[in-house]
Amino acid sequence: MTTTKENIVSVFNVEEVRKDFPILSKKVYGKPLVYLDNAATSQKPQSVIDTIDRYYTELNSNIHRGVHFLSQAATNEYENSRVKIKNFINAVSHKEIIFVRGATEGVNLVANSYGRKNIKEGDEIIISTMEHHSNIVPWQMLCEEKNAKLRVIPINDDGEIIIDEFKKLINEKTKFISVVHISNSLGTVNPVKEIIEIAHSHNIPILIDGAQAIHHVKVDVQELDCDFYVFSGHKIYGPTGIGVLYGKEKLLEEMPPFMGGGDMIASVTFEKTTYNELPYKFEAGTPNIEGTIGLGAAIDYFSSIGIDKISAYEKELLVYATEKLKTINGLTIIGNAKNKSGVLSFVLDGVHPHDIGTILDYEGVAVRTGHHCTQPVMKRYNIPATARASFAFYNTKEEIDILEKAIYKVIEVFK
């Protein structure tokens, strides 16, 4: 193991980055915290915490239209975050970056605005079997309202989208496609570039749900050529309650507002309201200012380490964990895609995942147990739930060893 460890250390110093996350030195039940629930939410580096603290101690005021010093300073920081995100995902313009509460709101915005305008009775929308409920329910609601049909791409036993089946689902009635980039319960990295190309070869717009991808793989929206991309700030080491909807400017221009209120208007009379320009048309009301600025700080932090190093290190962690867990008798890994990232879902013979979770917790190991808001995936594998360990670049091989030992404790209790 020493050689492998040295290899990692040569490109990435995990002990150094761990110091940036104060919560990682916490103990639970007297044991060091082993935080392996990163797919649910990531921990926050000190720089993000400090930025939010600084916002409230030095900058707090409402943004836009303020003539006073604080309002202008806060507006600058808020808009500066937008530019950081635009650069981070390589959007063409800052107008394409809409701040929302999270990936869920991003999907809902597109379903309500683009969807309600363009989806008609008898039309079809395609999603995949491995979608999070947040990329199922908004489309289902739209289909119900419009009397349209939701079509679902099947996945194979390894947890990969069956591309040929996807192609077969497309027809002249298909009006929208929405697919997850990385599955939160299986870890599958979908071939989104190929999926987007197929969609576009039929002139169908496509949304990519990047909630589990933005912090694991490089996302370049121009290279992908996706029409919409959504992600949540709290998965990429930023605060909760802030997320991003990227949309191509042309599409966003044509879309009606999602919510009405202040900030999204150019002028209001009781007879008629003229909407504000992009991106403000979609940002009604006082936004999550601290969250937006905090997300900007998170992007700065993340970029200072670099996605290439992060991806490579996380890949090594996943391979290490997979090799370890595979050898445990009675343990089955759910999701064995060739291209996986960040997530290791598993079940144990004769032990319900909830019981696994409770016993691991007492060893200081935080994992998630349940259906992970992907009930159709559980149904596909005919299991009620899984235990899921999910990794971040601050996790170590030693922590995976602790996870392994803790799983043996579970087996001991239930033998």
Partner 1 sequence: MSTELRELYQQVILDHNKSPRNFKKLEDANLFAEGFNPLCGDHFDIYVKLEDNIIKDVSFMGQGCAISKSSASIMTSIVKGKTLEEAETLFQKFHELVTGQIKAADVEEMGKLAVFEGVQDFPARVKCASLAWHTLHSALKEENAKVTTE
Q: Please report, as ranges, the residues that interact with partner 1 according to CB under 8 A.
A: 29, 350-355, 358-359, 362, 369-371, 375, 378, 384-385, 409, 413-414
Catalytic residue (one of 336, 373, 376, 409): 373
Instruction: Establish whether 226 is a catalytic residue.
Output: no
- Output the six-digit token pair for 70: 């604080």
CB of 353 to partner 1, least distance (A): 8
User: Which of 298, 387, 301 has the alpha carbon at shortest distance from 39?
Assistant: 387
161 versus 406: smaller Cβ distance to partner 1: 406
For partner 1, give the closer residue by CB, 261 or 350: 350
Instruction: Rank residues 324 and 352 by Cβ distance to partner 1 and give the closer one.
Output: 352
Q: Are 159 and 130 a contacting pair, CB within 8 Å?
A: yes
> Closest approach of Cβ 329 to partner 1, in Å?
17
262 vs 370, which CB is nearer to partner 1? 370
DSSP state letters, 22-48:
GGGG-EETTEE-EE-BTTT-----HHH
Tokens for 349, please give them.
Answer: 């013979």
Nearer to partner 1 by C-beta: 165 or 361? Answer: 361
Helices (H) and strands (E) in the chain, counts: 16, 17
CB hemisphere CA count around 71 (13 angstroms): 8
- What 3-state class would DSSP assign to 67? coil
Question: Crossing angle of helices 2-11/307-326, nearest 10°?
Answer: 160
Shortest Å distance, C-beta 335 to partner 1: 17
Q: Which residues pair with 149 in a beta bridge?
A: 124
- Sequence-distant (6+) residues with CB within 8 A of 19 are none
Q: Shortest gap between Cβ of 384 and partner 1 (angstroms)?
A: 4
d(CA 361, CA 369): 11
Q: Which residue reads 């989104």 in tokens?
A: 192
CB of 183 to partner 1, least distance (A): 18
Scanning the structure block, which residue is given the tokens 């926050």? 44
Catalytic residues: 373
